[in-house]
Chains A and B, each alone.
Chain A
Amino acid sequence: MKAAVIVFPGSNCDRDLAVALQQSMGRPPHRVWHRETSLPDVDLIAVPGGFSYGDYLRSGAMAAHSPIMAEVVRRAEAGVAILGICNGFQVLTEAGLLPGVLMRNRDLRFVCRDVHLRVEQRDSIFCRSYADNQVIRIPVAHHDGNYFLNGEDLKRIESEGRVAFRYCDEDGTVSEEANPNGSLKNIAGVLSASRRILGLMPHPERLSDPVLGGNDGRGMFDSLVSALA
């Protein structure tokens, strides 16, 4: 598999993501500066977490208009896989590649802690290493992770099986207490209609190494490698 990690001014999880990708891929991904207008030949484009443009104006809003994004959209239309994590998810919604918006957290505070996610959909290139309804533990770290979309769109993504992950408790129960940010229906990650684009708020790259206290994130990168290699 060949991959590229996009770097915006203010991205700060680009290195973490590159490390996790390399661990599964066996070689380092390209790192592409936001002002580029073309991308190398890759199977996966990864948009990392951080505070692109300081999250000024609105999280992800300015990065969505960076020069490289026109090329990312073209590649998406050509079927290249795209993964957006945290700020990357916000950028993908702002760029119109994924439905919905990420609003300020319900309690208005930044939240950084491990959460449990229920794998709602194995049927994508991102999740095949996980079992149906498997509960995984990976962290969130965000101020604007409160996912929202209108009723019709919600109905559509639910019926098309495009909710990839939901916040849940340790036993897999989806509850209000297990929801760290107020997201609608505890949605933590969503797929595009093509199922080739995934955006999620939690950080699988941060728990892909047992030394850091867990390995549940690694399944996503292993899934991608086995699907795209």
Chain B
Amino acid sequence: MNQLSNATPELAAEHGLTAEEFARATEILGRVPNLTELGIFSVMWSEHCSYKSSKRWLRTLPTEAPWVICGPGENAGVVDIGNGLAAIFKMESHNHPSFIEPYQGAATGVGGILRDVFTMGARPVANLNALRFGEPGHSKTRHLVAGVVAGIGGYGNCIGIPTVGGECTFHSSYNGNILVNAMTVGVAPKDRIFYAEAAGVGNPVIYVGSKTGRDGIHGATMASAEFDDASDEKRPTVQVGDPFTEKLLLEACLELMATDAIVAIQDMGAAGLTSSSFEMADRGGMGIDLDLDMVPTREPGMTAYELMLSESQERMLMVLHAGREDDARAIFEKWELDFAIIGRLTDNGRMVLRKDGETVADLPVQPLAASAPEYERPYTPTPPRAAADPTALPPELDLRETILKLLSCPDLSSKRWIWEQYDHMVMADTVAGPGGDAAVVRIHDTDRALAMTTDCTPRYVAADPIEGGKQAVAECWRNLTAVGAKPLAITDCLNFGSPERPDVMGQFVGAIDGIGQAARALTFPIVSGNVSFYNETNGQAIQPTPAIGGVGLIEDITHLTRTGLAEADMTLFVIGNTVGHIGSSLFLREICNSEGGPPPPVDLAAEKANGDFVRSQIEAGAIGACHDVSDGGLAIAIVDMILAGAVGADLEDSAARDTSWWFGEDQARYVVAVRMSHLPAFKTAAEKIGVPVHVLGVSGGHSLKVGDRATISRDELRDAAERWLPSYMAALDD
């Protein structure tokens, strides 16, 4: 149809706009939008860009602390890390594209989150990813794992940012909707952070990076609808990544950022030129005149509609100080990237698009960007579950066999097959890479370091969204604490089903409540994030998965504490109370075939007290190894410490140490290995502040030994942990 003729209600519906939204668009314009304008409304008001179902709840989250420089609303969150530096970070989902085309979907997810971070002036220093796949037996799972992992590696390895950590689990609820959540952490000088707020009438609007093609048109709209059996037909909307160009764009942007030529900068991510131009103009209260004939294109004949909606990757939009165009152009030409002046800022608050000498769209910025629809969706709170029936536990379990079986289940199995495909060492600052509680990356040219992790236990959130939300934040905080870091702030990536279903909305509201409670209690504010709804296929939603990415600071790298038991004769303690909560545990699911029962309750006061105690003992030099207790309980925590270290452990047995004691998932717990010389001071300190500590045994030997009940050699443990994933993936080559 003609780009300038009036859009019809049918066309609006095809663009995912409701009748009300179409009426509202018409009211805002004072006329019926044309096709280009309709396209712009549809992406700006998509769930993905507008947060229309989640905004009301996101506002309840705590976002402030004395060290927060910039909270949610910008491209990424910014926290002060001292010595004149800031950490800039965010996590984002790329779920829908990764399911349709796993390599490119995952690769461009990494590319997009990297741009969000370097657009603010930071050099990215680390990538992490949280992956959820369907059950291993599902026909698509193996192919999706292979493609996603190759895509993440292909992008991160090429651009040369280490992929240092993450998580990967499997559950049937993700059979039709995998989750690919990518997080980037960067470091910038605190006084040179760049924002996306346009200013200065007459200043030029600059397009840099790759040329615009027809790829990814309507990606944001795809991410705002559920899947059905015809979703494979959406493949053309998945963008194609070029990490080489992104590397050039990164270096060129950082080189330009070292000058004072930039007024504002924003990457072209979801909804491409549309969202970047509208967001920059809106934040600064400006208008923009754009000449679309100046946009560098990959092919001739692209329409205004296509130019505004393309999601071609590796592009940035900037506002420069007038007169600095030539300085900037020289830098981008050195890096062999396109550089085009495509418009000017105006003071009339309107986005005016011209093409072939004609005005093809004329829209008021503010009502579109800031006054997008906002919905208070109806919701039903998730009903509480009855406690797991303890009599359902098998009466006599062989401890040895149970540990080996749990250790080789897909969720606990070593993910070495995945992270050896990621360059986790490039930049030569990775102090602790994948496999530990949190990854630790030295701040370049200093003796300080950033710790980072991603966490979520979806089965807890499914069972009780509030406790599950609390637990995700608490576990993230614990993982940072366990390496000796002071937790600073979090980014959240909230993956849920359709918000139009009250039960899903109930999960979302509950999880936000829990996340908020924990973030407040632990002074662990949310500084950036992303919501991904519509993760469902044929009405089947995923387990609610609010992934939490956390960043902490290690002031002195010599205080870094590792998971592994490096030496013998250290005393092993569990910090925190063990009651043996077995509901919703991994043990119950993997050994007893039950996903029932409530999740372990999270006592935030105990989390804080126990964690602060651990950190103080690490600083005192008492702790030779430390690990938080999570999936699989105490037994698996100790096995992890053995596998990551050089020696075994000899544990005391007693009648009270039954199945639920070994495998229960009570929260707020750590296992620490205390150096002999520090034992008395450690015990005195714990007693003084009332933190519960209990002796488990001592480090040493070549096995895990539990009294006379079980002995498992380190080799057997290693084989059990390492076996599953490589052999599962080997079937792909057959």
By a beta-carbon cutoff of 8 Å, the part of chain A in contact with chain B is 9-10, 12-13, 15-16, 19-20, 49-51, 53-56, 109-113, 139, 141, 143, 203, 205-206, 209, 211-213
Closest to A139 in B: B425
Task: Given A9-B335, A56-B244, check contact A112 B159 (CB 8 Å).
Answer: no
* B423 / chain A contacts, CB cutoff of 8 Å: 110, 112, 141
Choose one: A15, A51, A141, A205; the contact of B247 (CB below 8 Å): A51
Interface centre among B157, B245, B421 (most CB of A within 10 A): B157
Q: Would you list the 8 A-B pairs with minimal beta carbon distance, nearest first?
A: A12-B160, A54-B244, A16-B428, A51-B158, A141-B423, A112-B423, A110-B421, A206-B425
* B242 / chain A contacts, CB cutoff of 8 Å: 54
User: Does A211 contact B424, Cβ atoms closer than 8 Å?
Assistant: no
Closest to B420 in A: A113
User: Does B428 contact A209, Cβ atoms closer than 8 Å?
Assistant: yes
Between-chain CB contacts (< 8 Å), 8 pairs: A10-B247, A13-B160, A16-B426, A110-B423, A111-B420, A112-B157, A141-B157, A212-B430
* A143 / chain B contacts, CB cutoff of 8 Å: 157
Interface centre among A19, A112, A139, A212 (most CB of B within 10 A): A112
* A203 / chain B contacts, CB cutoff of 8 Å: 425
User: Does A51 contact B157, Cβ atoms closer than 8 Å?
Assistant: yes
Whole-angstrom CA separation of A143 from B153 in the bound complex: 10
* A209 / chain B contacts, CB cutoff of 8 Å: 428
Instruction: Give chain B nearest CB distance to A141 CB in angstroms.
Output: 4
**Residue B422, interface by CB 8 Å:** yes
Instruction: Give chain A nearest CB distance to B118 CB in angstroms.
Output: 14
User: Does A112 contact B244, Cβ atoms closer than 8 Å?
Assistant: no
**Residue B243, interface by CB 8 Å:** yes
User: Does B420 contact A206, Cβ atoms closer than 8 Å?
Assistant: no
* A51 / chain B contacts, CB cutoff of 8 Å: 157-158, 160, 243-244, 247
Closest to A49 in B: B426
**Residue B500, interface by CB 8 Å:** no
User: Does B431 contact A212, Cβ atoms closer than 8 Å?
Assistant: yes
* A9 / chain B contacts, CB cutoff of 8 Å: 244, 247-248, 335-336
Interface string of B406-420 (1 = CB under 8 A from A): 000000000000011
Task: Given A55-B158, A113-B420, check contact A13 B243 (CB 8 Å).
Answer: no
Instruction: Give chain A nearest CB distance to B107 CB in angstroms.
Output: 12
* B160 / chain A contacts, CB cutoff of 8 Å: 12-13, 50-51
User: Does A112 contact B427, Cβ atoms closer than 8 Å?
Assistant: no
Q: Which of B547-566 contact A (CB under 8 A)?
A: 557
* A112 / chain B contacts, CB cutoff of 8 Å: 157, 419-425
Interface string of B425-453 (1 = CB under 8 A from A): 11111110000000000100000000000
Whole-angstrom CA separation of A16 from B422 in the bound complex: 17
**Residue B649, interface by CB 8 Å:** no
* A20 / chain B contacts, CB cutoff of 8 Å: 428
Whole-angstrom CA separation of A109 from B160 in the bound complex: 17
Instruction: Give chain A nearest CB distance to B109 CB in angstroms.
Output: 18
* A109 / chain B contacts, CB cutoff of 8 Å: 150, 421
* B158 / chain A contacts, CB cutoff of 8 Å: 10, 12, 51, 54-55
Instruction: Give chain A nearest CB distance to B416 CB in angstroms.
Output: 8
* B244 / chain A contacts, CB cutoff of 8 Å: 9-10, 51, 53-56
* B557 / chain A contacts, CB cutoff of 8 Å: 211
**B interface, size bucket:** 20 to 34
For the complex with contacts A9-B247, A206-B425, A211-B442, 7 further pairs of A-B residues with Cβ separation under 8 Å are A16-B428, A54-B243, A54-B244, A110-B150, A112-B422, A112-B424, A112-B425
Instruction: Give chain A nearest CB distance to B635 CB in angstroms.
Output: 28
By a beta-carbon cutoff of 8 Å, the part of chain B in contact with chain A is 150, 153-154, 157-160, 242-245, 247-248, 335-336, 419-431, 442, 557
* B427 / chain A contacts, CB cutoff of 8 Å: 15-16
Whole-angstrom CA separation of A206 from B331 in the bound complex: 30
Whole-angstrom CA separation of A141 from B425 in the bound complex: 8
User: Does A110 contact B157, Cβ atoms closer than 8 Å?
Assistant: yes
Instruction: Give chain A nearest CB distance to B158 CB in angstroms.
Output: 4
Whole-angstrom CA separation of A212 from B429 in the bound complex: 7
* A110 / chain B contacts, CB cutoff of 8 Å: 150, 153-154, 157, 421-423
Interface centre among B335, B336, B420 (most CB of A within 10 A): B420
Whole-angstrom CA separation of A18 from B192 in the bound complex: 25
* A55 / chain B contacts, CB cutoff of 8 Å: 158, 244
Instruction: Give chain A nearest CB distance to B458 CB in angstroms.
Output: 28
Closest to B335 in A: A9
Whole-angstrom CA separation of A56 from B431 in the bound complex: 31
Whole-angstrom CA separation of A206 from B428 in the bound complex: 5
Whole-angstrom CA separation of A16 from B423 in the bound complex: 14
Task: Given A9-B248, A9-B335, A10-B244, check contact A205 B428 (CB 8 Å).
Answer: yes
Whole-angstrom CA separation of A13 from B428 in the bound complex: 9
Whole-angstrom CA separation of A4 from B268 in the bound complex: 36
* B428 / chain A contacts, CB cutoff of 8 Å: 15-16, 19-20, 205-206, 209, 212
* A212 / chain B contacts, CB cutoff of 8 Å: 425, 428-431
Whole-angstrom CA separation of A13 from B157 in the bound complex: 11
Instruction: Give chain A nearest CB distance to B110 CB in angstroms.
Output: 14
Interface centre among B242, B247, B423 (most CB of A within 10 A): B423
* A53 / chain B contacts, CB cutoff of 8 Å: 244
Whole-angstrom CA separation of A111 from B422 in the bound complex: 7
* B421 / chain A contacts, CB cutoff of 8 Å: 109-112
Whole-angstrom CA separation of A16 from B248 in the bound complex: 18
Instruction: Give chain B nearest CB distance to A188 CB in angstroms.
Output: 17
* B154 / chain A contacts, CB cutoff of 8 Å: 110
Closest to B242 in A: A54
* A139 / chain B contacts, CB cutoff of 8 Å: 425
* A16 / chain B contacts, CB cutoff of 8 Å: 426-428
Instruction: Give chain B nearest CB distance to A131 CB in angstroms.
Output: 25
Whole-angstrom CA separation of A111 from B153 in the bound complex: 10
Whole-angstrom CA separation of A50 from B422 in the bound complex: 13
Whole-angstrom CA separation of A143 from B156 in the bound complex: 13
Whole-angstrom CA separation of A15 from B335 in the bound complex: 17
Whole-angstrom CA separation of A12 from B158 in the bound complex: 8
Task: Given A9-B244, A110-B421, A112-B421, check contact A141 B431 (CB 8 Å).
Answer: no
Closest to B336 in A: A9
Whole-angstrom CA separation of A167 from B429 in the bound complex: 25
Whole-angstrom CA separation of A50 from B340 in the bound complex: 29
Whole-angstrom CA separation of A109 from B416 in the bound complex: 13
Instruction: Give chain A nearest CB distance to B448 CB in angstroms.
Output: 11
Closest to B337 in A: A9
Closest to B430 in A: A212
Instruction: Give chain B nearest CB distance to A126 CB in angstroms.
Output: 19
Instruction: Give chain B nearest CB distance to A37 CB in angstroms.
Output: 15
Whole-angstrom CA separation of A213 from B560 in the bound complex: 12
* B422 / chain A contacts, CB cutoff of 8 Å: 110, 112
Whole-angstrom CA separation of A141 from B419 in the bound complex: 11
Instruction: Give chain A nearest CB distance to B504 CB in angstroms.
Output: 37
* B429 / chain A contacts, CB cutoff of 8 Å: 212
* A213 / chain B contacts, CB cutoff of 8 Å: 431
Whole-angstrom CA separation of A141 from B335 in the bound complex: 25
Closest to B149 in A: A109
Closest to B434 in A: A112
Whole-angstrom CA separation of A143 from B426 in the bound complex: 14
Whole-angstrom CA separation of A49 from B313 in the bound complex: 25
* B425 / chain A contacts, CB cutoff of 8 Å: 112, 139, 141, 203, 206, 212
Whole-angstrom CA separation of A206 from B430 in the bound complex: 9
Instruction: Give chain B nearest CB distance to A20 CB in angstroms.
Output: 8
* A111 / chain B contacts, CB cutoff of 8 Å: 420-421
Whole-angstrom CA separation of A143 from B639 in the bound complex: 32
* A141 / chain B contacts, CB cutoff of 8 Å: 157, 423, 425-426
Whole-angstrom CA separation of A12 from B251 in the bound complex: 11
